[in-house]
């Protein structure tokens, strides 16, 4: 990712190697603030309270979190406690469980004194692998974008995306954004319609921040605007990320994704889902079996600029954070293994 003029990753080890450094995404785009996670408890808070977020990034943070838990207590009890603490932070993204399982499997057979160092090394490997997978997603998506652009070479390629499936949500490149960045860098004129993504506004705050940093032309739209734009031929493709894809290909992603898929289907606009295989959950049969996170009603009833908070309704509010797009509405899955009709 390009940040403050430099190529950086969204998560890295602290300089002394004993912790992990993340961006506090609650401050973006107003302030670029790196925070150091020094305990498993801090990692759990950072995930649960969404200092950091996005399925692959949640996984990477949890991996470092389990390493921190083992630095505090490398016993079997310490391993189980750290695993449980981190697993319960957010229920929907499968990368969280995958990363915790991966680190636990790496260290469980080791003597306690060797566990923390091995867990940190595994967390580093998970982060490296995530960056490489996202790069590969970008390369496969780039070929797809070239084909789409060739249909209308006289105008920019218009991509609509929802939430933030960018470098902030991964270790680098993003999933949905990886083809966008690579296409832009390759000279393909790309313009991105950015859904604001109520209630937490990951699109307006985070995706727009990323695209601006990278110099990609973009326009923030209200969540409800996408249908009209598709109807008017102003969207060439919808590309989204995902928190979990089930065995039958159903796609769980940020609330509102399903409505975009319906509108895309009705208007003959291709609907692509970008994901690394760490987001595929073959053990869950269909989207109906995925636990959907219900977040605080205050995310809906209040608006805040980080300093001032205003109440926008006095009525009760419900805040399901994710929805499920049935596999039949997905044109293809853009993965590190290629662009696939079926997962
Ligand atoms: O609640 P969030 O912000 O963690 O939700 C993030 C999303 O829904 C992303 O689209 C998804 O995790 C894919 S990130 C590459």
List C-alpha distances in Å: 189 to 17, 68, 285. Answer: 41, 44, 39
Q: How far is the CA of 297 from the centre of ligand 1 (A)?
A: 19
How many C-beta atoms surround the C-beta of residue 313 within 10 A? 10
The CA–CA distances, whole Å, from 226 to 99, 141, 207, 261, 283 equal 34, 21, 16, 10, 33
The preferred substitution site among 54, 95, 160, 176 for testing ligand 1, maximizing ligand atoms within 8 Å of CB, is: 54
Domains of the chain are 2-129 (1.20.120.420), 154-340 (3.40.50.10470)
Ligand 1 cavity residues, CB under 6 Å = 53-56, 93, 163, 165, 169-170, 175, 202, 241-243, 253-254, 321
243 belongs to the catalytic site: yes
Q: What is the pLDDT, as a whole number, of residue 3?
A: 85
State how far the Cα of 155 lies from the Cα of 147, in Å rounded to an integer.
Answer: 14
Q: Partners of 310 in the beta sheet? A: 303
Q: What is the pLDDT of residue 11?
A: 98
Q: What does the pLDDT look like over 119-134, one tens digit per residue?
A: 999 999 999 999 999 9
274-296 pLDDT, tens digit each: 999 999 999 999 999 999 999 99
How many A from CA of 268 to the centre of ligand 1?
25
Strand order in the sheet with 11-13: 11-13, 20-23, 34-37
Residue 305: per-residue pLDDT: 76
Ligand 1 centre to CA of 168 (Å) is 10
Q: Which atom belonging to ligand 1 lies closest to the Cα atom of 175?
A: 15
Which residue in 130, 223, 243, 281 is the catalytic one? 243
Low-confidence ranges of the chain (pLDDT < 50): none
Task: Report pLDDT for 310.
Answer: 96
- Minimal-distance CA residue to ligand 1 atom 5: 54
Predicted TM-score (pTM) of this structure: 0.97
Pocket test for ligand 1, best of 90, 93, 194, 291 (most atoms within 8 A of CB): 93
Q: How far apart are CA 58 and CA 90, in angstroms?
A: 9
Contact predicate 28/205, CB 8 Å: yes
pLDDT at 234: 98
Q: How remote is the CA of residue 305 from the centroid of ligand 1, in Å?
A: 21
pLDDT of residue 194: 99
pLDDT at 304: 84
């Amino acid at each position: 990712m390009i940040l403050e003029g430099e190529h950086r990753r969204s998560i890295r080890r602290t300089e002394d190697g004993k912790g992990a450094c993340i961006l506090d995404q609650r401050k973006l785009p107003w302030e670029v603030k790196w925070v150091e996670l020094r305990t498993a408890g801090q990692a759990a808070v950072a995930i649960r309270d969404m200092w950091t977020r996005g399925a692959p990034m949640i996984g990477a943070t949890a991996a470092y979190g389990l390493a921190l838990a083992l630095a505090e207590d490398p016993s079997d009890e310490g391993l189980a406690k750290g695993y449980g603490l981190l697993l319960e932070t957010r229920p929907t993204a499968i990368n969280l469980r995958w990363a915790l399982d991966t680190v636990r499997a790496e260290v469980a057979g080791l003597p306690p004194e060797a566990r923390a160092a091995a867990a940190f090394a595994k967390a580093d490997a998970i982060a490296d692998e995530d960056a490489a997978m996202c790069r590969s997603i970008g390369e496969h998506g780039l070929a797809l974008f070239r084909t789409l652009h060739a249909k209308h070479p006289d105008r920019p390629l218009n991509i609509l995306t929802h939430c933030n499936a960018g470098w902030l949500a991964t270790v680098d490149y993003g999933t949905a954004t990886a083809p966008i960045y690579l296409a832009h860098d390759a000279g393909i004129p790309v313009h991105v319609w950015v859904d604001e993504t109520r209630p937490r506004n990951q699109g307006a705050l985070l995706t727009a921040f990323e695209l601006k940093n990278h110099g990609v032309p973009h326009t923030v739209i209200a969540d409800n605007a996408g249908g009209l734009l598709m109807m008017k031929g102003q969207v060439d493709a919808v590309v989204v990320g995902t928190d979990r894809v089930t065995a039958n290909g159903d796609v769980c992603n940020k609330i509102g994704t399903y409505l975009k898929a319906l509108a895309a289907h009705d208007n003959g606009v291709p609907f692509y889902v970008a994901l690394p295989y760490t987001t595929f959950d073959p053990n869950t049969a269909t989207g109906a079996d995925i636990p959907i996170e219900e977040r605080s009603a205050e995310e809906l009833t209040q608006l805040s600029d980080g300093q001032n908070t205003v109440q926008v309704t006095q009525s009760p509010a419900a805040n399901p954070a994710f929805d499920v797009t049935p596999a039949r509405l997905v044109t293809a899955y853009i993965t590190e293994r290629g662009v696939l009709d079926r997962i």
